Amino acid sequence: MYLHLYLQNVLRGIHISPYAKLLTCVRGAVYDVVIDVRPDSPTFLQWSAVHLTEENCRQLFIPPHCGHAFYSLQDKTTVVYSQVRVIIESNETHATKMRL
């Protein structure tokens, strides 16, 4: 489990992990986007977005090898990530390195 604190107006670009993630916003608010970048998937290049806030208590599941990006809407926004494996930066891919 990982806890991240963000200032308002922080944009984290599309990044892809080989592991599934479950996200929850426990303070503040984020606009969160997930995109299917798995070429063999029937939903390839489809995306979905959701507001995660401490008030709505929503969670977002991100399947392995799908893209994830978010925008922090409030100062001191805190997001909790649950993931099946340890985050290793070298295992993550950024959309700028991919050809979609």
Is 15 labeled as catalytic in the residue annotation? yes
Kindly report the number of other CB atoms within 10 A of residue 12's CB atom: 16
The one catalytic residue in 31, 68, 81, 94 is 81
Is 81 labeled as catalytic in the residue annotation? yes
Please list the helix, strand and coil fractions of the chain in percent, rounded to the nearest 5, in that order: 5, 50, 45
In sequence order, which residues have a C-beta less than 8 Å from that of residue 67 and are 6 or more positions away? 14, 15, 16, 33, 34, 35, 36, 37, 47, 95
The one catalytic residue in 2, 6, 15, 19 is 15
Judge whether 83 and 19 are in contact, CB under 8 Å: yes
The residues annotated as belonging to the active site are 15, 81
